[in-house]
Amino acid sequence: MEIYQRIETIKERPAVVLAIGAFDGIHRGHRAIIAKTREEAQRRSVKSMLMTFSPTPREVLGSEKEIALMKADEKIAMIRGLQIDMLCIRAFNRHFAGTSREDFVTRLLKYLDLKALVAGPDHHIGKQHEGGIAFLQNCANVYGFDLLIVPKSTYQGSEISSQRIRRAIKQGRIEDVNAMLGYKYRISGKVIPGRMRGRKLGFPTLNVKPHLERCLIPAMGVYCVRLTLDGREYPAVCNIGTRPTFAEDGISLEVHAIGAKLDTQYGKALEIRFEHFIREERKFDNEADLISRIENDIETCKTYLTEEKCQV
């Protein structure tokens, strides 16, 4: 896959079928657009191309500065896996956000031989969302490219969107999140020292610092996850919370690998893929009750993974 930071650096004005968007999380709706882009490019014997942005527009312009669902390098890797020929991952800032819809189209056509533009039914370009579908259809008629509209993907009767997925993550509805994404929600990070509470209880955990400074962490609670470390995958239980039984301050993210001894892995990179919400975090009266609950959580995780035909 050819990767560019600006379309102005693309040589020889290649013939392309193009899709433009933040593609935040590359959920099922995005994948439908990407699949259509790839299929149309193959049918026309031209290159498939995506134009996306980093940071995402909502990270820059949103009133609450939304957190992206994945890192830029994760997005690139996923797009490469979807067999797209060309990717322009454009730096997004307030200056670029002020580009008019006419200037945006003019730039595209100067550097690309645009055969078709693939978009969702609510797509828009240019400052303040001024270039909607009607404008794009007029451009298609004037400049001789096709505008191909892909219907919205739905889940449980409602449209899938990055914002809906973000809300579900914050609520801990991991099964819904994964269903809308089309893959398992994941967080990558590195192992950092902790207070070794888990080891003293007989359940050593890896304390995790996410790679992203602003990372979308699921709601506090206990989750069935898959842990990837040193190229190996382990079934695991992940706890997100404040350790209320021990009255410790701050949010922690720690993971216990089932059936493996993985403590003291400080500084190593890992990935956590969320599979299933087990329970909310709660305070226990004593360590014995906590140990009993952890044992129960582990059995719940084993049962879930076995039912999902995963190797434990």
> Looking at 38-42, 130-134, 269-273, 302-306, which range is the least confident one?
302-306
pLDDT of 259: 84
**So what's the pLDDT on residue 244?**
46
Lowest mean per-residue pLDDT among 149-163, 235-249, 289-303: 235-249
CA-nearest of 275, 68, 41 to 178 is 275
Is CATH 3.40.50.620 the classification given to domain 2-157? yes
Residue position matching structure tokens 């990055």: 162
Considering the chain, tell me which residue range(s) the CATH 3.40.50.620 domain(s) occupy. Answer: 2-157
Per residue in 135-186, pLDDT tens? Answer: 999 999 999 999 999 999 999 999 999 999 999 999 999 999 999 999 999 9
pLDDT band at 93 (very low <50, low <70, confident <90, very high): confident
**Res. 245 pLDDT band, cuts 50 70 90:** very low
Model confidence pLDDT, tens digit, residues 94-142: 888 899 999 999 999 999 999 999 999 999 998 888 899 999 999 999 9
Confidence at 262, pLDDT banded by 50, 70, 90: confident
| Mean per-residue pLDDT over the chain, rounded | 87
**CATH 3.10.20.30 is held by the domain 184-307:** no
Is the confidence at residue 274, as pLDDT, over 60? Answer: yes
Every domain of the chain with CATH number 2.40.30.30 lies at 184-307
Contact 172, 166 (CB under 8 A): no
- Taken as a whole, the chain contains a residue count of 312
* The predicted structure's pLDDT at residue 285: 59
Name the one residue in this structure whose structure tokens are 């059995």. 299
